[in-house]
């Protein structure tokens, strides 16, 4: 236990993989739920927010065509995929670092 607390022993690759899936799968779902909850909560606390949201939705409906909406949706999907790719690359780097460290430490013994 002491070697873990003094960072002589690092967390394992399995822990990193578990955190990767928590971030890649669970976090987008929780963020979407939180966004919906916060919008409803804010609308209850500040009634002007609901008026502003409805006015904004009407302006967007009146001034955008379905092609523009499709472009925005496509942009969102591409940005989401890039964020997921970045998350994956970050964890691949961390796992590769752990593997290199283990190879150097165990190889030097």
Q: Please check whether residue 16 is in contact with residue 98, taking contact to mean a CB–CB distance below 8 angstroms.
A: yes
pLDDT (tens digit per residue) in 11-48 = 788 889 999 999 999 988 988 888 888 877 777 777 77
> Is 17 within 8 Å of 91 (Cβ atoms)?
yes
Helix axes 47-63, 27-45, angle to 10 degrees: 110
Instruction: Find all residues with CB under 8 Å of 14, minimum gap 6, and list them.
Output: none
Residue 55 has pLDDT above 90, yes or no: no
pTM equals: 0.65
């Amino acid at each position: 236990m002491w070697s873990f607390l003094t960072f002589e022993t690092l967390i394992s690759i399995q822990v990193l993989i578990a955190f990767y899936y928590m971030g890649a799968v669970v976090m987008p779902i929780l963020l979407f739920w939180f966004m919906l909850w916060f919008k409803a909560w804010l609308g209850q606390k500040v009634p002007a927010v609901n008026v502003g949201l409805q006015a904004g939705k009407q302006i967007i409906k009146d001034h955008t065509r379905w092609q523009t909406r499709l472009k925005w949706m496509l942009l969102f999907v591409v940005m989401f995929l890039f964020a997921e790719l970045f998350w994956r690359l970050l964890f691949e780097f961390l796992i590769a670092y752990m593997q290199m460290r283990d190879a150097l430490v165990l190889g030097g013994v």
